[in-house]
Amino acid sequence: MPQVIEITVYTIDELSDAAKEKARAWYRESCLDYEWYDFVYEDFQTICGILGVTLRTSPVRLYGGGTRDKPQVWFTGFHSQGDGASFAGHYSHARGAAKAIRDHAPKDDELHRIADALQAVQRRNFFQVHASIRQQGRYCHEYTMTIEVERDSPTWQPPTDDAEDAVTEAMRDLARWLYRQLRAEYEHLTSDEAIDETLAANESTFTASGEYFL
């Protein structure tokens, strides 16, 4: 025969410290199943455009039946050996990139350094250097990117001796920069403070032991 069982539930602020930790662990394991990195990706696409990198895209089917172009950007993280980020695309000189990146991210010295390095190698090659960037293998970090550097010289001049290494390192530094942004965003979203704020805003409730209560 049916029975009515009463249970007392609590908000995150009302739990004991041990129960709070259990509630946070549940959130970390169960509630980051959305594309939380979209904001980081959007900023990365903007930065790539400023620096002269055109990301390759792949069509992705939408629930409504259409498609959208998804940039070929990948990452794994954040606590295992081999974690990192990578991307595929094409690089060519972007006029005014050094100033534009400072306008976009005035406090990001690493992006400034990458833009300056690309500007320097382009200047030595009369702004004719371009590169293709491809992803290889099943891992995704900066060293899984294959970068082929060429020069569009009307007189068939080859790139300077340092061009391939300079462009390759700049692209890998850009992948490292992306990974750091992703890790920082993830660590923010999974911090105790951010989780508690989200659970409180959603009016989530838990048992006294920290079990999520529907």
pLDDT in tens, 68-78: 778 999 999 77
Which pTM does this prediction carry? 0.89
Amino acid of residue 158: P
When pLDDT is cut at 50, 70 and 90, the band that residue 142 belongs to is very high
Q: Average pLDDT for residues 48-75, to the nearest whole number? A: 86
Q: Give me the pLDDT at residue 4, please.
A: 86
Cα(174)–Cα(185) distance, rounded to whole angstroms?
17
Q: Is the peptide bond before 126 cis (omega within 30 degrees of 0)?
A: no
Kind plus residue range of the DSSP H or E element containing 130: strand 129-135
DSSP count for the chain of H helices, then E strands? 6, 10
